[in-house]
Amino acid sequence: MINSLRQKHPFRISLIFILLLSGQATVAQRSFKQRITPRHVGIQYAGSIGYMSAGFGYDLSKKTELSFHYGYVPEVKGGELHIAAVKFEYKPFRIKLGKELVFHPINPVVFASYTFANGFSLGFDSDQYPKGYYFWSPALREHLGFSSELEIMGDKSSGIKSISLYTEANTNDLYMVSWYENRTTTPFYKIFKLGFGLKMNF
């Protein structure tokens, strides 16, 4: 069964393993209170997880973050949609721009999102479509992307480590397959969605 899942959904299985292994690396070293206290909170405009979204997250290591998000798309913007997302971000580069600014030029991002709304479900109606007719899920999307972040260092005595401004570009499994099948007529950049966010780090 596991091998079958890997063949049908290799990216989905890899994403689950990444998130689980990253979290397990530090769990044993932290108290319960430390584990459940978010290390950052933020808001985001657009970027595949809602017209507006809010979230909180944790530092798995000095270079990795795990965060949880809730996004909303109002009816006038194409909704009404509610979106939940789990995001893993890696920050390999840290460039100091003076004493108070830190620039993270390119941060690889991988995340999964699930849309709660009428007409969205994990799979297709088996009475209407044969099993395996569509490889993708109407509600579940798997995303790849990258972000750039400017971190403004704060006053530690206030409890705020820094405030970050960031932009993120991402695409998903369905967009990538659609682009590949129409790559002679569709520019690659058109499958990416752009989001902008503000994050407070503790």
Q: What dotted CATH number matches 2-201?
A: 2.40.160.20
> In which band, very low, low, confident or very high, does the pLDDT at 3 lie, cut at 50, 70 and 90?
very low
- Could you give the 3-state DSSP secondary structure of residue 188? helix
pLDDT digits (tens, 9 = 90+) for 113-128: 999 998 888 887 666 6
> In which band, very low, low, confident or very high, does the pLDDT at 2 lie, cut at 50, 70 and 90?
very low
pLDDT digits (tens, 9 = 90+) for 92-119: 999 999 989 999 999 999 999 999 998 8
What φ, ψ does residue 147 adopt, rounded to 5°? -130, 160
Share of the chain above pLDDT 90, in %: 67
Rounded Cα–Cα distance for residues 47 and 195 (Å): 4
Rounded Cα–Cα distance for residues 52 and 7 (Å): 35
What are the residues facing 113 on neighbouring strands?
A: 85, 141
- Give domain limits for the chain: 2-201
> In which band, very low, low, confident or very high, does the pLDDT at 51 lie, cut at 50, 70 and 90?
very high
**What is this structure's pTM?**
0.80
> In which band, very low, low, confident or very high, does the pLDDT at 136 lie, cut at 50, 70 and 90?
confident
Rounded Cα–Cα distance for residues 67 and 51 (Å): 18
- Could you give the 3-state DSSP secondary structure of residue 9? coil
